[in-house]
Amino acid sequence: MVAFFGRLKNEMYYGYEKDYSSFSEFSKAIDEYIDYYNNKRIQVKTKWMPAVQYRTASMCSA
């Protein structure tokens, strides 16, 4: 969990602080990032599948 928030801060906040004119705009951007992180981002360790798809596939094969 700590790694996720570190990645989120590095990719969304540091250096982009002035891009968000309000907290609600920043909150919406975080929601979109979380959706991307769980449903679209692929990694080698998840066999090139998004995290949610990998978890679903793992549960079905167990």
Distance CA 59, CA 9 (A): 30
Q: 20 near 26, Cβ under 8 Å?
A: yes
pLDDT at 49: 85
Q: If you average pLDDT over every residue of the chain, what do you get?
A: 85
pLDDT at 5: 87
In three-state secondary structure terms, 50 is strand
Distance CA 47, CA 59 (A): 15
Provide the pLDDT confidence category of residue 17 given band limits of 50, 70 and 90: confident
Nearest-5° angle of CA 4, CA 34, CA 59? 80
When pLDDT is averaged across residues 18-38 and rounded to a whole number, the result is: 90
pLDDT over threshold 70, residue 52: yes
pLDDT at 50: 87
